[in-house]
Amino acid sequence: MADFLSVNDTNFDSEVLHSSLPVLLEFGAPWCAPCKRLEPILLQLAQEWQGKARFAKLDVDESAAVTMKYQVMTVPTVILFKNGAAVERLVGLQARARIEEKFTPHL
């Protein structure tokens, strides 16, 4: 079963920027209803893309430094990091097809 890696200000560099695989990072919060609706879609993709990408989650309330660095103003925001750089971004609740369309070319 695929699950989200928990990322915060402390482990962001090692887990995301230095990852050998692309990392799909969801910026969210426990109180965010659209985040809760997005997560089952991301978990499905995590299972399908196993070995191609890692899926991680960051709580914007607990990780202000990373949230500000990437100018995340709205949750959920999903950013794909590849080779230490943010290469693609989706803001707000998105349909699965849109997520696949945006991120698959980078895998």
Strands 54-59 and 23-28: what pairing? Answer: parallel
- CB-CB neighbours of 41 under 10 Å: 16
DSSP symbol at 13 = I
Q: Which of 32, 45, 72, 78 is flagged as catalytic?
A: 32
Euclidean distance between CA atoms 5 and 13, whole angstroms = 13
Catalytic residue among 7, 16, 35, 42: 35
Is residue 4 among the annotated active site residues? no
Q: Is 32 a catalytic residue?
A: yes
Question: Which residues participate in catalysis according to the annotation?
Answer: 32, 35
